[in-house]
Structure 1
Amino acid sequence: MDALLSSAEEELYVLDCMAHFMVFMAACTFVTLLFENVPYGRYASSKYGAPVNARFAWFVQELPAFLLPLCLILWTSSSKTSLLPNRLLIAMYFCHYVQRSLIYPFLIRGGKSTPFASFILAFVFCTYNGYMQIRYLSHFAEYPVDWITHPCFLAGSVLWLVGWVVNVHSDHILRNLRKPGETGYKIPTGGMFEYVSGANFLGEITEWAGFALAGHSVHSSAFAIFTTVVLTSRAVATTKKLLLGTIKGDIREAFLLTT
C-alpha cells in the first residue's frame, strides 16, 4: 500500500473514506434488512447461490480478518505498534478473530450450509474491515499518553471484555443445545439467554461497541455501527421465530390436553 499512495496523509484519507463508506453501507443494509433476513443459517436460501459447507464457509470467510492484519503487523513498518494503547486495541481485535477464524469454525456441529453469495460477501467484508482496522491502528492512530486511564478507554475495554465473554459463552450454549441424535425445536437457556433471546448477537454488538469507545475513531465506530445493524436484524428475526415456536408449542400442548 505504501507503494500505491504518495504519502501517509493520502493513505489516511483513503482509510477515512473506507470508514465513511462502511457507515453508508450500514445504512443501505439497514433498509435492505427491513425486507429480507441475512441469508445464512436458518435463513439460508438457494436463491443466493450454491450451498457452501458451514464449517468451511466460516473458516475461509473469517480467515482474512486474521491473516491480512497479521501480515500488516509482521511485514510492514508498523510505527504505532510500540504504543501501549495501540497494542491493547490490536490485541482486542486479534483476540476476537483468533477465536472466530481458528477455533469457532471447528466447533460447529452440523449447521445449515451457507449460500455462496453470503459466503463471498462475508469474505469481502472481513478483508475490507481487517485491513481498515489494523492498518489504522498500526500506522496512524495516535492517543494521549494517559489514554489507557481515560474513562472512554476503561469503559470501552470493560464493555469489550464483557461482550467477548458473553459471545463465546452463548455460542457454547447454542452448540450444546441438543444432545447427540436429538432434533426438533429447543429454546436456549442459561447465561444471558435467561434475559435475551439473541445473547450471542448481543455479546458481539457489545464487544465492538466497547472496541469503538476504546478506540475513539471513525474506523472502529463504523465497524460497530455495521455490526449493530446486521446483528440487530438477526436478533429480531430470531426473537420472532422463538416467539412463534413458543406459541406453536403452547397450542400443541393445549390441544393434547383437550384430546
Structure 2
Amino acid sequence: MQCSRSGLVVSLSCLQVALGLLHLALNRRHPMRYGKHDDYKQKQEEQRPGREKAEGNDSSQKPPPPLPAEDRAHVPARCAWFLQELPACLVPALLLAWRNPPRLAPLGCKLLAGMFCAHYFYRTFIYSFLIRGRPFPLKVLFCGILFCTYNGFLQGYYMIYCTEYPDDWCNNLRFTSGLILFLLGLGINIHSDHVLRQLRKPGEFTYKIPQGGLFDYVSGANFFGEILEWFGYAIATWSLPAFTFAIFTLCCIGPRAVHHHRYYIKTFTSYPRSRKALIPFIF
C-alpha cells in the first residue's frame, strides 16, 4: 500500500474536523442520549401495562403507543463498549500485519502501536469488561463503531505508510512533552474510570457524586484525561490526523463534561459548587 499524503490523508483529516464541529453544534445544548442522559428507563416506566392517568380510571382509555424502535433498541453496556472500541484497536493492527516486514521498524509504527493501540487495548479488553453502566442505545453504538473504524484507519494508515521521523525524534522536545501529556492523561483516565466504578455495587445503576482524584476539581475528570491523552499523542507524533482527532475528541466529549456538570448540580443539592466542568480552576 502506498501513501497518499496530499490526497486521502488530508481529505479524511478535514472530514474529521468537520464531524467534530457538527457534533459540537448538535450537542451543545442537549447531550447525546446515553448513560445518565438517556431517558430510556423513564420511558419504560411510562409505558408499563396497567398504568393509568392520575386524574381518572377510564378503562376504555387506549394504551399508549409502543416506544419507537430506536428508543427500545439497547445493548448491554459491556457488549456495547467492546464492540464500539474494537475497530480502533483492530484496524491499525490489521494494517500493521499487512505491511511488509520489518513491521515495527519505522518509528511511526512503534508510536502507533505503543500509544494509540495501547489506549484502545485498554478500552476494548479491560474497560469494557469492568464497566457498570446502563444499556447502550443501538443507534449510538452504530455511530461509535463507524467512527472508530474510520479513525483507526486514518491514524493507522498515516503512521504506518506516510510518516518519516528523523533518527533522533525520541529526543525531540515535541515527542517528550507529548509523551508526558499522553501518559498523564492515560493515568487520569484510568483512575477516573476506577473511581466511577466504585460508586456502584454490582447490578446497581444509581448515580452518585464521584469523589477523589481529579473529581475533587472537575465533574468530567475522565473526559479531561482523555482529551489530554490525544493532544499529547498529537504533539508526540506531530501529525495532521492526530491533531484532527484531538480536536474531534474535544468537540465530542468536552460538551458532555459540561452536561454532566449541569446534571450533578441539578440532581444533588450537596454537590460541591467549587468544582468546574472540565478544566480544573478554569472551566
TM-score by length of 1: 0.86
Q: Which amino acid aligns with 2:223?
A: F
Deviation at 1:249, TM superposition (A): 7.4
User: In 2, are the aligned partners of 1:92 and 1:211 still within 8 Å (CA)?
Assistant: yes
Task: Give unpaired runs (5+ residues) of structure 1.
Answer: 3-7, 251-259
Partner of 1:217: 239
Task: Report the counterpart of residue 198 of structure 2 in structure 1.
Answer: 176
Is contact 1:81–1:137 with CA below 8 Å preserved after alignment?
no
| Richer in helix (by share) | 1
User: What pairs with 1:20-35 in structure 2 (closer than 5 Å)?
Assistant: 20-35=14-29
Counterparts in 2 of 1:11 and 1:212: CA distance versus 1, 3 Å? closer
Structure number with bigger Rg: 2
Relative to structure 1, the CA distance from residue 79 to residue 39 in structure 2 (aligned partners, 3 Å threshold; closer, same or farther) is: farther
What is the total number of aligned residue pairs between the two structures? 243
Paired with 1:183 and 1:83, the residues of 2 have a C-alpha distance of: 46
* 1:245 corresponds to which of 267, 277, 280: 267
Residue aligning to 2:36: 42
Q: Is the CA contact (8 Å cut-off) linking 1:44 and 1:113 kept in structure 2?
A: no
Identify the residue that residue 256 of structure 1 maps to in structure 2. Answer: none
Alpha-carbon displacement from aligned partner over 1:106-135 (angstroms, at most 9, x marks no partner) = 1022x1111111000000000000011011
Q: CA deviation at 1:66?
A: 1.1
CA contact (8 A) 1:80 1:137 kept: no
Determine the structure 2 residue equivalent to 1:257: none
**Aligned-pair CA distance for 1:89:** 3.8
* Alignment equivalent of 1:77, drawn from 82, 100, 117: 100
Q: CA deviation at 1:78?
A: 6.6
Which residue of structure 2 lines up, in the alignment, with residue 5 of structure 1? none
Query: 2:125 pairs with 102, 115, 119, which one?
Result: 102
**What does residue range 1-259 of structure 1 map to in structure 2 within 5 Å?**
2=1, 8-10=2-4, 13-45=7-39, 48-49=70-71, 50-77=73-100, 81-109=104-132, 111-179=133-201, 184-247=206-269
Quote the offset at 1:145 in angstroms.
2.2
Amino-acid identity (%):
40
Output the amino acid matched with 1:51: H
RMSD: 2.2
Give, in angstroms, the shift of residue 36 of structure 1: 2.5
Runs of 4+ in 1 over 6 A off after TM superposition: none
The Cα shift of 1:205 comes to 0.5
- Look up the match of 2:48: none
Query: Structure 1 residues 78, 136: closer, same or farther in 2, change over 3 A?
Result: farther
C-alpha distance in 2 between matches for 1:68 and 1:9: 17
Contact 1:80 1:141 in 2 (8 A): no
Which digits, 9 at most, give the CA deviation of each residue in 1:161-219, with x for residues without a partner?
00001001100010011345767442111111111111101010000010011111110
What CA distance in whole angstroms lies between the structure 2 residues aligned with 1:27 and 1:218? 17
Kindly indicate whether the alpha-carbon contact (under 8 Å) linking 1:90 and 1:134 is maintained by their aligned counterparts in 2. no
Residue 45 of structure 1 deviates from its aligned partner by 4.9
For 1:65 and 1:78, locate their aligned partners in 2 and report how far apart those are by CA, in whole Å.
22
Query: Which consecutive residues of structure 2, in runs of 5 or more, have no partner in the other structure?
Result: 41-67, 273-283
Contact 2:169–2:175 (8 Å) recurs in 1: yes
Q: TM-score, normalised by structure 2?
A: 0.79
Is the Cα contact below 8 Å between 2:108 and 2:163 reproduced in 1?
no
